[in-house]
Structures are given as C-alpha cells and as structure tokens.
Amino acid sequence: MNNTVASLIVDSLIANGIENLYCVPGVQNDHFFNALFDRQDRLKPIQTRHEQGAAYMALGAALATGKPQAFALVPGPGFLNGCAALCTAYALNAPVFGVIGQIPSAAIGKGLGLLHEIEGQFETLQTLTKYAERIVTGADAARQLESVWNALHTGRPRPVAVEVPVDVWLQKAAYQADSLRVSTPRAKAVDPAQIAAAVQLIQAAKCPLIAVGSGAQDSSALIREFASRVSAGVMAFRTGHGVLDSNDSLSITMPVGHKLWQECDLVIGLGTRLAAQKNEWGVDEDLKILQIDLDESELNRIKPASVGIHGELKTVLPAITSSLGQQTDRSHWRQRISDEKSAFSAEISNRLEPQLNWLRAIRNALPEDGIFVDELTQIGYVSRFAFPTRSPRTFLSTGYQGTLGYGIATGLGAAHARPDTPVVSIAGDGGAMFTIAELATAAHHNIPLNVVVMNDNAFGNVKGIQRDKYDARYIASDLTSPDFTMLARSFGVSAARVSAPDALQAELEKAIANPGPNLIEVTVDEFPSPWEYILLPTIRGK
C-alpha cells in the first residue's frame, strides 16, 4: 500500500489504540489534518483553545487511564506552549505521544526567519521526552514510527514524540495499516537469587515500611496482599495515592511515615524513586533498602539499594510474596503505625482545620471512584497528606514539577477520557487563569469536568510564605481576579459561588449530577501554613 507520511502517522496512532487526538491545528500541520479528515470515526480530533491545553488534556487522559494518549501541535510557539505539559508528563511517567510540526526540512537551522522557526526545536524535544524521531523521508518513516512506539512500550513509561517538517507530510510512505501495531514486550524473567535476597531482607526486618509511586498504580492488589503479609505501612506522597485504599489500616501518609522513619529498619520502594526518603529524610547503615523499579538507574540513585531489582512489579512481587514463608510477629509494629496515624489525625484536625473542612466537603460529594485533580493551591498542598483516596488513578498530581496552572486542562483530559467517572479539579484563582480558556473546550465538547476555584485574590501560597517568613513584606502576590461564575457562564458552563464547606458539598453534588461542565467559585481568606507537614527534615544519617 502506497500512502503518505501524513496518512501513515494517522494510521499508526489508530493501530496503536489512540482514539482521541488533543490538538490545535495550524499551517505546518495542514496536510496531517487533511489525512485525518477521512479517519475521524477512528481517531477523533479534540481541538482546544491553547496548545498547553491540548498537551495537558493528553496528560490528564493518560494519568486517568494508564493508557497512551496523543496530542498534535505546530512548531515554534505552538510547541513551546505545550512544553510545560510535556515536562510534567515526563516527571509523571505518563505515556504521551506528541506529533510536532516543523518548518521545511531544508530550512532547519538556517535562521531564515520563517513562520514558527526556532533554533534547536528537535534538541529541546529530545530533552523533554524519553525518545523522539524527526521524520525526514517517507522511505524511513514507518521504521522510525515503530522505534517510537517501541520506546513508549518498553521500560519506564514516559512521553515520546515525532517531529515532521511541513515538506515531508506528503512524501510517499509504503506500509500496511494492519502491520503498524507495536506490541508491549514480555516482562523479563525474575532472577531467583534476587528474590531470595529480597526475602532475606524482609525476614530480618522488624519495622518495615513501603513507599509507592506512580510505577505502582497498576499493581494495587499485589501490593495490598504483600503489605498485609509483612505488616508494613504503605506511604505515598503525590503520585502513589490510591495504590492502597486510605481506609486500609496499613495506609499511612508521608508525615506519619516520617514520624516512623527513625524506627524503620527496612524501606521497600515499589515503583518510586524514594527521593524524599533517601534525599531528605536521610538514611544510615542501620536502614536496609529493597527497591523494585522498571528504571534500573533509579536503583543506585542517591543511595544504592541493599537489594535492587530491575523489573516489573506484576512479575517481581508475586515471586517475592510466594517465597516469604512464615513471617515474624510484627503486631507491635502494626500498633505503632495505628498509634501514629491517630496522633497525626488529631494534630492536623486542630492546626489545619480550614483546609480539612474544604477537603472533607469535596470528598463527601465525590463518589469513591471519583477522580481528584490536585493543584498548587492551599487545599491542594494539604490534600497530599489528608485527602482520602480509595483506588488507583483517582488522585492526579503534578509530581515533582509542581506545575502551577495545570489543573483545569489536565482535569479536562481526565474527564474526557473517563466521562462516566466524576472528576473534580481544584485550583486557586492564580493557577486557574493559566488554562481557564479551556472552559470553552469543555463547553464545546460537553466534557463533564467539575472545577473548584478557591479565590483569595492572591497567589495565596506566595503571600503566605511572605507573611510567615518575611515579616509580611508582601510583594507581587496580590491579584485582581475576575468573577469566575460570570466568566464560566459566558462560556456556557454551569456555575455557582459558595463561602462555606457545607455549601460547597451541596453545590458539588448538584454539579456532579449535571452531565456537562461545571465551575464552583469558593471565596476564602488566608489559610494556616501546611509546609511543616510537606517539607520534612532530615532525621537519619546526619
């Protein structure tokens, strides 16, 4: 079958399970969208109002489903507008596929001042992705696409991309559409010696803790069984929430994990860098580290693991669990975990009551399987250690990037990908304005996202730090925000304003029952600082 590079990429996306293409079209990609025209029944374009919105929607859809998602942008400013989402996807290990346009291939690097020309676009793309290819001829295009898909499906999931110069779209490409699907490779065999070494560490431990990250999201049942067998508390910071139900007696927050850290003699990292524990809390010779990760480089980062296993949790954990045998009595450790959980809950109920009341209202309104999209705002920070999460992929966070303003557009992608699951995306009035234009996208495609904007007419976190650490010397932190309810209604989005938690719960329950998009503006004042529970000090190996 002879066809073009444009049709090849469209067919490749379809063959590899992509159903929606989040996008902003433009002149360098016109040939690509023309090829898409006749395939819209299999690959639906979801046009957004800004390039960052398209890339964030792909990110949100990937986080909510765990499946690859795609976006398409024009080069230069369009590509750069999407870079915040792309670097966030990289940080979150999200399987996102980018289709990026480019100026004519013969003009790349010449500095001719062509439309959307920037120096080093492909080199920048390479730094923000796990793997990228620039397609320069139709003859090599199918092979290059296969390489990109192989990279996406192999090892640690992270974004990949193809860059296509405008003159290459219509070059002939020979391919068979039914041969474009790239399969996920089989997991490698488990090394019995490593399993035995891991079991030996576990058998010797009296006070084990488990840390989970994004790499554990698809192994919830295995981890629940394993944690119960070894009586280990399971902690998550941002990307590991939901792996263990917050109601589980062994589920602990990061502050509770920190309180137990000095007593811990074995930490087991499952699909996590263990960055906070290794780099911030501190380690010493008395602490053993068992780490299992798809990325072999993580096993020796910061502090080498006592036993590091490079592999998939779904393969490694069953092998360890089945080899554990009779465990030592750790009932004392279970009781310590329970006591610290109770003490911490009582402590923050007094110190962070305002944030907890708002979070409780959201949790009460949101069904147990509902998705909560965290943001860089006051209740968002507290949600990292105080929002109960029941199941995997229901707490979406920026991870270490801390990408202010990502919430609305990312939540929109999650709501679009999982329309039968209620999604609540929170934002402060500062962060909300970054992607507020995507309310038009929500209305246009009737995406049932529920946005909660906490409005204090300030960059609230910045102002709080200036209040607490700089003698209230406020600078560049006050804002003049719009009437968010009127703004939402102008887009055709249902809106309400509240000023009390019980009113938020009532309005959010009504919003969730509405099949279209909704926004609730919440008027708030200053909040007490949560940072002592997030920036936890070094307590070992000083």
| pLDDT score for 217 | 98
Query: DSSP string of 454-515?
Result: EE-SB-HHHHHHHHHHSTT---S-B-----HHHHHHHTT-EEEEESSHHHHHHHHHHHHHSS
Q: What is the mean pLDDT of residues 400-414?
A: 97
pTM: 0.97
12, pLDDT greater than 90:
yes
Contact 247, 422 (CB under 8 A): no
Q: What is the mean pLDDT of residues 101-107?
A: 97
Q: What is the pLDDT of residues 445-477, one digit of tens each?
A: 999 999 999 999 999 999 999 999 999 999 999
Q: What is the pLDDT of residues 20-32, one digit of tens each?
A: 999 999 999 999 9
Q: Which residues contact 529 (CB under 8 A, 6 or more apart)?
A: 464, 465, 468
| pLDDT score for 39 | 97
φ and ψ of 41, to 5 deg: -70, -20
1, pLDDT greater than 80:
no
Q: Average per-residue pLDDT in the chain?
A: 97
Tell how many helices (H) and how many strands (E) occur in the chain.
21, 20
| pLDDT score for 325 | 92
| pLDDT score for 406 | 98
| pLDDT score for 9 | 98
Binned at pLDDT 50, 70 and 90, residue 369 comes out as very high
| Of 185, 154, 189, 183, the residue nearest 318 (C-alpha) | 189
The SS3 call for residue 41 is coil
Contact 43, 212 (CB under 8 A): no
398, pLDDT greater than 60:
yes
Q: What is the pLDDT of residues 493-524, one digit of tens each?
A: 999 999 999 999 999 999 999 999 999 999 99
| pLDDT score for 186 | 84
| pLDDT score for 187 | 82
* Domains of the chain (ranges, CATH numbers): 2-179 (3.40.50.970), 192-341 (3.40.50.1220), 352-533 (3.40.50.970)
| pLDDT score for 542 | 73
The SS3 call for residue 440 is helix
